[in-house]
Amino acid sequence: MKAETRFRIAIVVLALLMTGPFLVTTSVIWYRFTEAEREALIELAGPWLPLGGSLTAIAFLGGVLVVRNLYRRYVRGLLQMAENQQLMLEANRDFRIAETGPPEVRAVARATNALADQRDALLSDIEAQIQRANRSVEEEKNRLGALMAELTQSVVVCNLNGRILLYNSRARHEFRSMSNAPGMAGGGELIGLGRSIYAVFDRNVLNHALETIQDGLRREVSQPVAHFITTGPGGQLLRVRMSPVLPSAGTEPADAEPSERRLTGFILMLENITQDFERELRRDQMMHRLTEGNRAALANIRAASEMLEYPDLETDLRKRFQKLIHDEVEAMSDTLDRTASEFADTLKAHWPLMEMLGADLLAAAQRHIESRLEVTVRLAELDESIWVRVDSYSLLQALLFLVSRLVEDLEVREVSFRLTGTGRLVHLDLMWPGPELSTGKALSWELAQMSLAGESSPLTVRDVIDRHGGEIWLEQDKNGNEASFFRLLLPATSPREQIEPSIFIRSEGRPEYYDFDLFKWSERSQELDDRLLTELTYTVFDTETTGLNPSEGDEIIQIGASRIVNGKMLRFESFEQLVDPRRSLSPESIPIHGIQPEMLVGQPTIDKVLPAFHAFASDTVLIGHNAAFDMRFLQMKEKLTGLVFDQPVLDTLFLAAVVHPHQDSHRLEAIAERLNVPVVGRHTALGDAIVTGEVFLRMLPLLAEKGIRTLREAREAAEQTFYARIKY
């Protein structure tokens, strides 16, 4: 029975005790006395009746005040203390009970705080021992995280149900490029811990590859792999290498045969071959143009040349056939020149070249030359926006060799580099002041095998330049600086797109791109409502709006969200986007969210943003603080976008009222303070979403203490709170 109910019962009992004697006496007088006796008694007691009634009323009110004071000071105080004790035990070790109220309650609070101090000392000692025991495991995890972060190839690891349990930053970048909304969810609507890889790739293709690997295991192949080519969501062509994840040593039965090894998951190594495929297609088109396109011209030339063999051919006809041959040959020459120019990059010898920033290339050249040749190197003109495709090792060898020749033959002690761009080519100039170099000597250096300080290479400078499909020549500076220079023409490229860090949330740690506990994840047959809260995947979200009245035209101006998988807040799998509301902001809202009107200019409208957010939140339970407010804004856009957010929704406002019904405030800041959750980025959509998610995670053990463990139980408990009756 609730304390409030017991308080009401006490008031009723007190009322009965106060009025009971009066009612009994009145009944006796009415039924046992005669009318004359009643009149005499009334006449005798009449003057005292008002005084007696007043005293009775005063006694009743005094009793109510006493009971109310006892309830407030003792019952309510002890109930709040019980909630605070639960906070100390389950959510916030640093929390201590305020020593307020009557002396007896203060004494209980002091004893409870002393026990908490002893508990913390013991827990600190245990935690120190656990930290020492887990240090080596953490080091291995950090090595893995560093290795995965630095890999240039996309890697995704899944369990047998296709749930992603590991991926690296390159994979996230690759999936972002395939996303229809790369600037919003950063590819998070396609890839993320706990998401299904089958949302990206055809299930049948992956199942076929798994069958190939399992067949290899049955045939006792030492390292079975499967290769296939498939398309991504954006039509990108991907080459995929699938490898198995096998149980670790000691986890399989000792008598298991090698052919009985079972899979626990699979590794996908992805390579985007769209550009390679397009290049091959262009090359095929070029060959078709050079063969089929010139077939008619060759037939005309052959026919004309055969006619010219007749000695008695008329002069006019001879001239016409000669002109025909001349025109066809000229047309073929033009076609050949145009094709060679258009496909120059595909006609060069293939050699693996890597993309790098031109400034980095010249910085490396400067270090090598100054350290090995003791020559001063200056960077005269450097366009830091230029990217090049080079074999950096052989190119640095060539530059080092050329400078060494300048030092030995011309006694040059200072050189300069200049880097400028000209379309698809880059001009890299190696300049030196002083004596000019003859063309013959420059040519001999270009064709000589490179050697320096006893190290020799089978390549020449010309080989290195050909490897890059470029050119090299010697020139005199035309700017009047009396300096000669070698000009190297190298292939340019576009800068590789970089993954930008989060705007509002910064972290010194490594992104949570892996969770091996998901190996244990299997699809369950039970309904979502009967799933444990600790087993579900969540999208915690928040919105910022132009005002508080969605039905009167207020609009969303920002959506922020993050995900909870396997009981962990994935701050780096986030969604954050400003929205152009196509209306003005209310002046009173700007100081709250800090979003100025000019920040929304040029941002996508809600009909572009909601599809990306809908994809990001798919297959998850939504969580918000006062979520009814945010959901109302989303529901108002169902007709516009055709998207319905029909997944279950949990509200931390309702849940706070469930776990702490006797607390004075359920504002997000107050709940975060009680649960020792740091507030970062308050009143930004993503900042509020992350705080809400951390609050929810701290609530889970408190809900379990009250017997609320499943989604159904959480929703039913929340519906009984006062806040569930608020409508928007």
Tell me phi and psi for residue 471, to 5 degrees.
-140, 160
Distance CA 278, CA 574 (A): 33
Distance CA 474, CA 438 (A): 9
Residue keyed to tokens 């976008």: 641
Which residues lie closer than 8 Å to 547 by C-beta, 6 or more apart? 554, 586, 589
The residue type found at 276 is D
Distance CA 562, CA 511 (A): 13
Question: Which residues sit opposite 451 in a β-bridge?
Answer: 456
Sign of CA dihedral 12, 16, 17, 22: positive
CB atoms within 10 A of CB 43: 9
Distance CA 509, CA 141 (A): 12
Which residues lie closer than 8 Å to 360 by C-beta, 6 or more apart? none
Active site residues: 683
| 438-442 contact pairs (CB < 8 A, 24+) | 439/474, 441/409, 442/474, 442/486
What are the structure tokens assigned to 628, written together? 């009814």
Is 266:242 a contact under the CB 8 Å cutoff?
Answer: yes
Distance CA 557, CA 280 (A): 45
Phi/psi region, residue 275 (left: phi>0; alpha: psi -120 to 50; beta: rest), is alpha
CA distances from 57 to 22, 46, 65 (A): 12, 18, 12
Which residues lie closer than 8 Å to 168 by C-beta, 6 or more apart? 148, 149, 151, 154, 155, 513
Q: Report residue 214 CA to chain centroid gap.
A: 33
Q: Report residue 702 CA to chain centroid gap.
A: 29
